[in-house]
Amino acid sequence: TQLLEQSPQFLSIQEGENLTVYCNSSSVFSSLQWYRQEPGEGPVLLVTVVTGGEVKKLKRLTFQFGDARKDSSLHITAAQTGDTGLYLCAGDDGRTDKLIFGTGTRLQVFP
């Protein structure tokens, strides 16, 4: 069974701080996605990483896919209150129509 473990599970920080969320698995994925979900809304796709070692930037967010395509990280620089939400990584095994979702990281950014 493929599993994606995220850490930390919860993160509470003040505006302006930096943070990193990790997404780890023992399985190889053909691609991996990061979503942010705000309370009461559906997840919104932030980025898809495909190539081992790939780094993608989205404003203050930096996403990295591990060289072996088994893990990924999300780094947020100078967090803002608008970054608050549930961050989910999701892996695509490239064989089925399904995504394997990570366990989630709930981020709270205080002013």
Positions touching another protein (CB under 8 A) are 30-31, 33, 35, 40-45, 48, 50, 86, 88, 90, 92, 97-99, 101-104, 106
Question: Nearest approach, Cβ of 101 to another protein (angstroms)?
Answer: 4
Question: Nearest approach, Cβ of 14 to another protein (angstroms)?
Answer: 21
Task: Compute the distance between CA of residue 41 and CA of residue 17 in angstroms, rounded to an integer.
Answer: 25
Question: Nearest approach, Cβ of 92 to another protein (angstroms)?
Answer: 4
Residue 4 has a CB neighbour count (10 Å cut-off) of 24
Task: Compute the distance between CA of residue 100 and CA of residue 109 in angstroms, rounded to an integer.
Answer: 27
Between 59 and 97, name the residue whose CB sits nearer to another protein.
97
Between 18 and 26, name the residue whose CB sits nearer to another protein.
26
Residues in the chain, how many? 111
Between 18 and 98, name the residue whose CB sits nearer to another protein.
98
Question: Nearest approach, Cβ of 59 to another protein (angstroms)?
Answer: 20
Between 48 and 62, name the residue whose CB sits nearer to another protein.
48
- R_g over Cα of the chain: 13
The token duo for 71 is 């893990």
Residues 6+ apart with CB under 8 A from 36: 43, 44, 46, 83, 85, 86, 87, 88
